[in-house]
Amino acid sequence: MNFLHLSEEVRRAKEENRPVVALESTIVAHGMPYPDNLNTAREVEAIIRDHGAVPATIAILDGKIRVGLAEDELRFLAKHDGVEKVSRRDLPHVIATGKPGATTVAATMICARMAGIDVFVTGGIGGVHRQAEKTMDISADLQELARTDVAVVCAGAKSVLDIGLTLEYLETLGVPVIGVGTEEFPAFYCRSSGYPVDVRLDTPEEIARVIHTKWELGLQGGLVIANPIPEADALEEETMERIIADALREAEAAGISGKRVTPFLLDRIKTLTGGDSLRANIALVKHNARVGAQIARALHPLRHGRS
């Protein structure tokens, strides 16, 4: 049975040998409140089109992996409360039962690879959670980066994580971490984390050559393309660290665990920052879309011949 369904726009782009950029749907269903989630999804898709690529937002609907969503499907994800959060382990169950599902970084990578899409734009990757030495809470995103050939353009890892341990884990898994015009790994809302990237590259063409070379060498797995939030939109590091610590204490006191942790923390941080974190989140996703489309355009002729 073929579980993959390409939208007409994505199917046509593949036939015409044009670059396609994957987008996750968890940010629509679980990452932002309505209508910010729907408006941001539309704007991000428009940015990718404006920069010469075709957007492919990925979700699970009616037992199919939808690669590219129609307006009514985006709206459904943005407004419906019963959408499952889908990672690698959840894909078989959600598809088999026909439940609606929003794909995380890990699941979006899997589906993008099935569809032959090389570049995926998101907000921030998951990683090693704080106090993981007690909870063993490590995002499936990291293992997926080690096994699935998709380049992930992000604003680093989410600030609520233990970024140092996340980078150590990526190093162990052999996942390259490339800084876009920076030698420091960004921390989602903030431009720096205090930790270095593996290599700094300044142009889409340089980044595309490294991505292509990795896969031509037969080295399995993805790459983290760490693109800092624009300086004008970044939040202050010390303030954010204090707010995150408060939100983490609240989550622990409320017994929040597992896949519920990140949505809870993001919502509390939005409240504690008076909405500044949501505005920063929207800004960084749009910036990642611009950079991701540029990389996809540079990578496409290397991977698929001239379009």
Query: pLDDT by residue (tens digit) across 64-123?
Result: 999 999 999 999 999 999 999 999 999 999 999 999 999 999 999 999 999 999 999 999
Is 289 flagged in the annotation as binding? no
Residue 306 reports pLDDT greater than 70: no
Strand locations in 93-192 (E) = 101-103, 119-121, 151-154, 177-180
**4-304, CATH topology level:** Indigoidine synthase fold (3.40.1790)
Q: Please, which pLDDT band fits residue 251 given cuts at 50, 70 and 90?
A: confident
Is 85 flagged in the annotation as binding? yes
Catalytic residues, by residue number, are 24, 158
Segment 41-69 mean pLDDT: 98
Average pLDDT score over the chain: 94
The residues spanned by each domain of the chain are: 4-304
Cα 18 to the center of its chain, rounded Å: 22
Is 139 flagged in the annotation as binding? yes
Give the model's pLDDT for residue 252.
Answer: 81
Is 105 flagged in the annotation as binding? yes
Which residues contact residue 230 at a Cβ distance below 8 angstroms, ignoring those fewer than 6 apart? Answer: 283, 284, 287
How large is the angle between the packed helices 261-272 and 237-253, nearest 10 degrees?
130
Torsion of CA 216, 6, 47, 307, to 10 degrees: 50
Is 137 flagged in the annotation as binding? yes
Residue 259 reports pLDDT greater than 80: no
Q: Residue 202 and residue 188: Cα distance in Å, rounded? A: 19
Q: Please, which pLDDT band fits residue 170 given cuts at 50, 70 and 90?
A: very high
Strand locations in 128-235 (E) = 151-154, 177-180, 199-201, 223-226
Is 245 flagged in the annotation as binding? no
How large is the angle between the packed helices 36-50 and 71-79, nearest 10 degrees?
140
Residue 260 reports pLDDT greater than 80: no
Determine which of 46-55, 137-146, 200-209, 248-257 has the lowest per-residue pLDDT on average. 248-257
H-assigned helices in 174-230: 204-216
Q: Please, which pLDDT band fits residue 1 given cuts at 50, 70 and 90?
A: low
